[in-house]
């Protein structure tokens, strides 16, 4: 087990009550685990701010495949960036709409640029880059 340190935090009572309610509502084991999660999230976010750090993420895209040339355009873009796109899941949501989830890996700056191009492609209804981490430097 990792080396643990206990420390005290001064916090407004109302803020702590609100936090405890959030912890309970989210089904998180306890207050300590919730605080560890927040710290890890902040560290992952900081990792992404350094554009040359190797990291991983997912890009989610929703689009209508009947939109003229859109499927071809997205496919072309993904081939252009094949070294950064590790895997793709395609789900036919209904007769018109498609969901694609791309697992991306590389330098955070490159991944952000690729995600921006894909999400910004005309006809993409919704897109989101989820920034996560290789976990290597995270306890
Ligand atoms: Ni489809």
Tens digit of each residue's pLDDT (9 = 90 or more) over 53-70: 889 999 999 999 999 999
DSSP the chain: ------------HHHHHHHHHHHHHTT-S-HHHHHHHHHHHHHHHHHHHSTTSEEEEEEEEEEETTSTTHHHHHHHHHHHTTTTEEEEEEEE-SSSEEEEEEEEEEEHHHHHHHHHHHHTSTTEEEEEEEE---STT--
Ligand 1 centre and the CA of 123: distance in Å?
14
At 53 the pLDDT is 84
Average pLDDT, the chain: 93
Ligand 1 centre and the CA of 105: distance in Å?
24
Ligand 1 centre and the CA of 71: distance in Å?
9
Residue 1 pLDDT > 80: no
Ligand 1 centre and the CA of 68: distance in Å?
14
Ligand 1 centre and the CA of 80: distance in Å?
20
Close Cβ partners of 99 (under 8 Å, ≥ 6 residues apart): 60, 61, 62, 90, 91, 93
Which of 25-29, 79-83, 124-128 bottoms out in mean pLDDT, i.e. has the lowest? 25-29
Ligand 1 centre and the CA of 65: distance in Å?
6
Residue 104 exposed, middle or buried by CB count within 10 Å (0-12, 13-18, 19+): buried
User: How far apart are the C-alpha atoms of 8 and 25, rounded to whole Å?
Assistant: 24
Q: What is the pTM of this model?
A: 0.82
Ligand 1 centre and the CA of 92: distance in Å?
4
Q: Are 84 and 111 in contact (CB under 8 A)?
A: yes
């Amino acid at each position: 087990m990792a080396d643990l340190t206990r420390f005290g935090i001064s916090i407004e009572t109302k803020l702590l009550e609100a936090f405890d309610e959030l912890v309970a509502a989210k089904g998180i084991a306890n207050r300590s685990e919730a605080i560890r999660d927040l710290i890890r999230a902040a560290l992952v976010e900081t990792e992404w701010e350094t554009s040359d750090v190797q990291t991983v993420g997912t890009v989610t895209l929703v689009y209508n495949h009947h939109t003229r040339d859109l499927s071809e355009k997205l496919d072309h873009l993904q081939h252009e960036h094949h070294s950064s796109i590790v895997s793709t899941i395609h789900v036919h949501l209904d007769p018109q709409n498609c969901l694609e989830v791309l697992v991306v890996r590389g330098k955070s700056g490159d991944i952000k640029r690729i995600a921006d191009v894909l999400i910004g492609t005309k006809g993409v209804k919704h897109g989101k880059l989820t920034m996560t981490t290789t976990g290597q430097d995270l306890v």
